Structure 1
Amino acid sequence: MKELDNKKRNKYITSMGKNIQFIKLEKEIKELIVGDERAEWLNFSKNEIIYGYDSYKKSLGIILKGKVSVRKDRTSNVLINTLGNGDIFGGAALFSKYDRFIGTLRAETDSDILFIPENLMEEIIVKSPESAVSYIKYLSESLMFLNNRLDIFTAGGAEERTLEYIRKNSRTDENGRTVADGMSMTELSEYLAVGRATLYRILDEFQRNGIIQRDGRKIYIEKEI
């Protein structure tokens, strides 16, 4: 972990639009974030632990560049989520009374992150009611996401978890077909806590039975599941 130099920091400041996720960047708020020494602009090398049970700061993390994995713990292969440019983390625990972070965040690539600490976020929320409302919406969406993950984890065996994932992540495409997409087989196997070979076997069996049709990362649903 190291601090970003002024050149990189200024580049990100220049590229900031009217929002950083739920923070509405009115002139006063942007100046507050940019000029406040409490905000940290940090770089993490690939595979470096950002947050963990024993390495946690009460700050909102905003990924300026890079890819970050969220896992159950440091040694677990269970993937909770993958975050990228513009995504945030730590928001749900920011104002918690607990001093430990439940989970592990790891830099999957070289990553630049802006940290906004609890007391600075309090000032932003007081000065910007619109940001406060957006923060509540973000927390609601986070809760829904975690509920969906819990549904998948508690669905049963490998086949049931795979089916539940397809159900929870399906949408109707522009051609009116129902499709789930977005993950490589490696990412999906980690997400479902299923071995890759097992996952391939399950999907092949679903396809033979006419339940799904695969096309790259896309899984088309052919029958009601």
Structure 2
Amino acid sequence: MNGTNVNALKNSKLFSGLSNVQIKDILRDIPFEIIEYQKSDIICSPENFEKRIGIILTGKLQVSRFDKTRKFTMNVLKKSDCFGMAVLFNDNNRFDATITAKTKGKVLYLTEGELSKIFAKNSLVAQNYIGIMSERIAFLSKRLSILSHPSPNDRIEVYLSEIAADENGIVQIDTSLSALCVDLNIARATLYRYLSDENSDYTLIENGKIRRKE
């Protein structure tokens, strides 16, 4: 494995805290797989996925979901980001998103068995894995708490209030407005109506950005 790939792993959450030498030693006897993708290639989808974790070595991937008529971009994954953990070490056989290559790139894959061997070799990797899953559980718990509000406007308000605004009052959401509507289970018209209401605490400005009113 070349130095560029090792550096990508070193900067991932899974291998955080390990040196290049430690990572190379851990993977020496692990039959991991590296796959190169071209732009627009489908990495995985609800109809076609494998139970394994992917770590991006180069390039960017787009995470999307579909309803009956539209495609929503949920997230863009970059170098060192991981995906696929939700289907590992459990009986979950569903993968709800479609991941496509936004640019040309490479992904390293590790199966459950390979991860188990790595955990046995180095407990820090196991701790990192637990930490990632704990963050995921906290995120889902927060989302459920937001969705428990019956009023769409309350859901929007609570979601935005938990994101710190920058010095210009801009609230940096890590998803598209369309995807945000899916997450909050609201119609696009509801979100735009809220953001255009002079009595709301937030407003929509240029480039689809949201600003907290003073």
- TM-score calculated relative to the size of structure 1: 0.72
Residue in structure 2 matching 1:182, options 173, 180, 194: 173
Alignment correspondent of 1:203: 195
Between stretches 126-135 and 43-52, larger displacement belongs to 43-52
State the distance in 1 between where 2:7 and 2:49 align. Answer: 28
State the distance in 2 between where 1:72 and 1:61 align. Answer: 22
State the distance in 1 between where 2:68 and 2:78 align. Answer: 19
User: What amino acid maps onto 2:177 in structure 1?
Assistant: L
Any conservation in 2 of the 1:42–1:113 contact (CA below 8 Å)? Answer: yes
How far does residue 11 in structure 1 lie from its aligned partner after superposition? 6.3
Deviation string, structure 1 residues 102-141 (Cα, Å, up to 9, x no partner): 3123215134321111111111111111111121111100
Residue in structure 2 matching 1:38, options 6, 21, 31: 31
Q: List gaps (5 residues or longer) in structure 2.
A: none
State the distance in 1 between where 2:50 and 2:68 align. Answer: 17
Residue in structure 2 matching 1:106, options 76, 99, 108: 99
State the distance in 2 between where 1:189 and 1:74 align. Answer: 14
Between stretches 152-161 and 108-117, larger displacement belongs to 152-161
- TM-score calculated relative to the size of structure 2: 0.75
Residue in structure 1 matching 2:202, options 186, 195, 212: 212
State the distance in 1 between where 2:67 and 2:122 align. Answer: 35
Any conservation in 2 of the 1:179–1:219 contact (CA below 8 Å)? Answer: yes
Partner-residue secondary structure (3-state), 1:190: helix
State the distance in 2 between where 1:94 and 1:159 align. Answer: 36
Over 3 Å counting, the alpha-carbon distance change for 1:11 and 1:70 in structure 2 is farther
How far does residue 62 in structure 1 lie from its aligned partner after superposition? 0.9
Deviation string, structure 1 residues 191-218 (Cα, Å, up to 9, x no partner): 222555543332111xx12522445455
Alignment correspondent of 1:61: 54
Alignment correspondent of 2:212: 221
Any conservation in 2 of the 1:71–1:81 contact (CA below 8 Å)? Answer: no
User: What amino acid maps onto 1:188 in structure 2?
Assistant: L
How far does residue 190 in structure 1 lie from its aligned partner after superposition? 2.2
Alignment correspondent of 1:144: 138
Task: Count matched residues.
Answer: 206
Q: List gaps (5 residues or longer) in structure 1.
A: 1-8
Aligned identity (percent) is 27
